[in-house]
């Protein structure tokens, strides 16, 4: 591989949903330690996610993007090889990724792989599969899981009945449906161009592939892993510890 492969880990979120139970159901103000620094089997979640990436020697560097004034990152990442961190976090995930990408100043032909700090369970085999597929096809792609359950679309909630249960409008054919995971891997120039072209829609993009799709590309869907779920809700910490 003549071009280099660099990983970006957006880690500037506050983990509001993960704190819901501890605040009695309400979403907390971002004062408590964000979820990416909570310990999972004796190690901060962020450190585990970075170590999962370092397992593949083709990744030349891992660049972690944190919020301004983050007091936890230096300790959480101490001693890890090929790893740097920058206080370039933005108000949304997509804005964090865009500023990290600009900060990295990669060549257009380099590859960039974006991975959530909140996915510490990434298996080496899934990472290897993604990198192999993207390099072989010369195109970008993402890890994803085919939907296994029957899918329902809810009818618009009745504004007058806040406590009424949601009801089904229709069942949705699931054959072509996949759930997007990370890492997501693209040529750096392509991803930067697609994120910049999103303009005011940037903050609505929930993953990198969406930016490429808007720009007319069709990213490869590479089978991910059930272990690679995103730690989002309070109960996810216990579940992830069982996998690790
Ligand atoms: N402004 C933001 C928001 C999110 N993220 C990162 O994007 C990843 C996926 O986001 P998510 O799981 O939603 O984390 P949070 O935004 O922290 O969670 P919540 O939405 O519950 O607050 C995480 O690694 C998170 O730190 C980020 O770098 N910058
Ligand atoms: C990127 C992602 O993990 C793919 O599933 C997801 O879209 C992040 O969403 P979040 O709302 O920022 O957790």
| Domains of the chain with bracketed CATH | 5-243 (3.90.550.10)
What is the per-residue pLDDT for 141? 98
Percent of the chain at pLDDT above 90?
A: 87
Give the binding-site residues of ligand 1, using a 6 Å CB cut-off. 10-18, 34, 36, 65, 89-93, 96, 116-118, 230, 232
pLDDT at 163: 76
Segment 141-190, tens digit of pLDDT: 999 999 999 999 999 877 666 678 899 999 999 999 999 999 999 999 99
Q: How confident is the model at residue 31 (pLDDT cuts 50, 70, 90)?
A: low
Kindly state the tokens that stand for 220.
């490869």
Cα 178 from Cα 176, distance rounded (Å)? 7
102-131, pLDDT tens digit by residue? Answer: 999 999 999 999 999 999 999 999 999 999
Distance 210 CA to ligand 2 centre (A): 11
C-alpha torsion angle, residues 226, 90, 34, 25 (rounded to 10): -80
Which ligand has its closest atom nearest to the C-alpha of 46?
Answer: 1
pLDDT higher at 132 or 26: 132
pLDDT band of residue 29 (cuts 50, 70, 90) is: very low
Q: Where are the alpha helices (DSSP H) in the chain?
A: 45-54, 73-76, 93-104, 124-137, 188-197, 208-214, 236-243
Pocket perturbation via mutation, ligand 1, pick of 13, 33, 47 by most ligand atoms within 8 A of CB: 13
Query: What is the residue-averaged pLDDT of the chain?
Result: 93
206 lines ligand 2 (CB under 6 A): yes
Helix axes 188-197, 93-104, angle to 10 degrees: 130
Q: For residue 173, how far is its CA from the centre of ligand 1 (angstroms)? A: 30
């Amino acid at each position: 591989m003549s071009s280099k492969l660099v990983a970006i880990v957006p880690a500037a979120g506050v983990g509001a949903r993960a704190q819901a139970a501890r605040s009695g159901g309400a979403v907390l103000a971002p004062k408590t330690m964000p979820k990416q620094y909570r310990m999972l089997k004796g190690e901060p979640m962020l450190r585990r996610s970075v170590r999962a990436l370092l397992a593949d020697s083709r990744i030349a560097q891992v660049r972690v993007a944190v919020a301004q004034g983050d007091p936890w990152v230096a300790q959480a990442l101490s001693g890890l090889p090929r790893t740097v961190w920058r206080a370039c976090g933005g108000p949304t995930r997509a804005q964090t990724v865009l500023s990290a990408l600009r900060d990295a100043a990669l060549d257009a032909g380099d590859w960039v792989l974006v991975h959530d700090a909140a996915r510490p369970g990434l298996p080496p085999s899934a990472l290897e599969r993604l990198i192999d597929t993207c390099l072989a096809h010369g195109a970008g792609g993402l890890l994803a899981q085919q939907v296994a359950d029957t899918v329902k679309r809810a009818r618009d909630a009745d504004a007058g009945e806040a406590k009424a249960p949601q009801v089904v409008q229709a069942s949705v054919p699931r054959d072509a449906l996949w759930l997007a995971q990370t890492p997501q891997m693209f040529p750096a120039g392509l991803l930067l161009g697609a994120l910049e072209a999103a303009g005011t829609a940037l903050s609505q993009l929930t993953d990198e592939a969406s930016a490429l799709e808007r720009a007319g590309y069709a990213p490869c869907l590479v089978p991910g892993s059930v272990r690679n779920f995103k730690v989002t809700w309070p109960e996810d910490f216990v579940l992830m510890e069982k996998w690790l």
